[in-house]
Amino acid sequence: MLQKHKFSVVKFIKSFSFLTFCKNNSPQEELFYTGFGIFGIISTICTMYYISGVSELREQKALIYIYESMLVLSVCIVTYPVWPNTLKKDTIIQIIWNIGVFYLLIICSSFFVMLSNFAALETVVFTVNLIVVAILIRWKIAVGMIIVGLFLGTQFYQYYTGVSIKNVDIGIKSSSFVLYTFLLIATAIIIFLKPKQEQQALTEEKVNHLDDRIIDREEELAKSLALKNEFLRNLEHELNTPITGIISMGQVLWESYDNLNDKQRRQAAEEIAKSSQRLISLTNNLLDLSKLSSLTYELYKTNVNFSKLVRDRVNQCKKLYLNNKELQFFTEIEPNIEISCDQRYITSTVDNLIINAIQYSGMTGKITVKLYKIAGNVEFSIQDEGIGIPQNELIHIFNAFTVSSKTHTPAGGRGVGLALCEKAIKAHGGTIQAESNGKKGAKFKFCFRIN
């Protein structure tokens, strides 16, 4: 902890800028400068009036120089609003302001209160000056300035009088007055510095929070750009593949229809049908995802035999997407499960999960599909023995356009299907989740109430 604090102090010293310091500790409104300048003039006049009655003062000429410097500084600040535009620069007044607070309210005030032997009026002026410092300056800076200013004021007093501060005799009455005065100072510091401390702590906390949010946003933006590029690359592949199949097979049928036998024509037609289905599936997914992302979209619910729907979709996806893969399907489907749902989106959800299981499985393996009722809910699950999903990616797998690192392969991945699944299930008031050990296989499961 000590080492960390030491590092912070060293870092502060290295990065310290006097101009930045003055800017951060200066008011934004010109009215503050005018008010402070008037206060400085009144404080100086009060000091001049009382100190002039103190006998046996050395170097009266030196005091005149001090009075003049205090008045000149106060007048410069009070007249700032009417400065010529050529001189009226923020940097100049900010430097003068900070010097004025430090010099007038702390150094000179502490010097004169000691010079007056802690007389009542001068002690009051000194107390008020310290309270004003506490009000005007951020509490950490105020404490530092007061400590340094008191030290310099004491040193100047000892130099001017040739008397050590330890030898000052302020008398019984004066000592009581000084004691009460410093008690007042301590009370004022607590009153004014405590809210400033809390405000400063809150401000620092907000700044740190905003810094963290900026960093998170930058990382999120970088990831989003990478995902967008990945999505566009995959989308180009997903569009080109079926379009190329449709065009090439259509061209073959058009140019060589009479030269092809029935089997070849049937294969060409089958290829066109599969490519068309794949293209339609991608287009529908993108459109459905856009619709479900709208807060104003309403589902069109009807009563559906979910058991029959799942069986039909398994058979249909096997015909269209298995190709040459020898995958075994095991189904455990409870019969006659009736649900109220938007059939289009539930069908799309089931299709996407089955297609993913086929697409990310190897040439062999098994896929298990289960559907059953439990405690008034319907639960669907599908498990494969494919490439799996890294566990640190499971939490983001349902985000739109998110593609698993394991799908940066010829297996592909558009980042649309699973996002659509999550939108559809959540729109039905259900939940969906993914499970994987990160090495082999994945399981997707969704659940929502029957009615």
**What total number of domains does the chain contain?**
3
Assess whether 223 and 319 both reside in one domain: no
- Asked if residue 199 belongs to a domain, the reply is no
- Asked if residue 150 belongs to a domain, the reply is yes
Assess whether 387 and 259 both reside in one domain: no
CA distance 202 to 108: 34
Q: Residue 433 is part of which domain span?
A: 302-449
Assess whether 246 and 391 both reside in one domain: no
- Asked if residue 271 belongs to a domain, the reply is yes
What tens digit of pLDDT does each residue of 126-166 get?
888 887 887 777 767 878 888 888 889 888 888 887 777 66
Burial 101-111 (b: 16+ CB within 10 A, else e): bbbbbbbbbbb
* CATH number where 326 lies: 3.30.565.10
Assess whether 148 and 263 both reside in one domain: no
- Asked if residue 205 belongs to a domain, the reply is no
Assess whether 253 and 378 both reside in one domain: no
What are the average pLDDT values for consecutive 10-residue runs of the chain, which has 451 residues? 51 72 79 84 82 61 84 88 82 88 88 81 79 76 84 86 65 49 54 56 73 75 65 61 76 79 81 76 63 61 93 90 88 92 89 89 91 91 89 75 47 60 87 85 90 69
User: Does the reported pTM lie above 0.85?
Assistant: no
Assess whether 271 and 306 both reside in one domain: no
C-alpha torsion angle, residues 35, 39, 45, 47 (rounded to 10) = -170
pLDDT of residue 290: 59
- Asked if residue 426 belongs to a domain, the reply is yes
CA distance 340 to 139: 64
Assess whether 161 and 241 both reside in one domain: no
pLDDT of residue 188: 55
pLDDT of residue 117: 78
- Asked if residue 97 belongs to a domain, the reply is yes
- Asked if residue 7 belongs to a domain, the reply is no
Residue listed under structure tokens 């000429």: 61
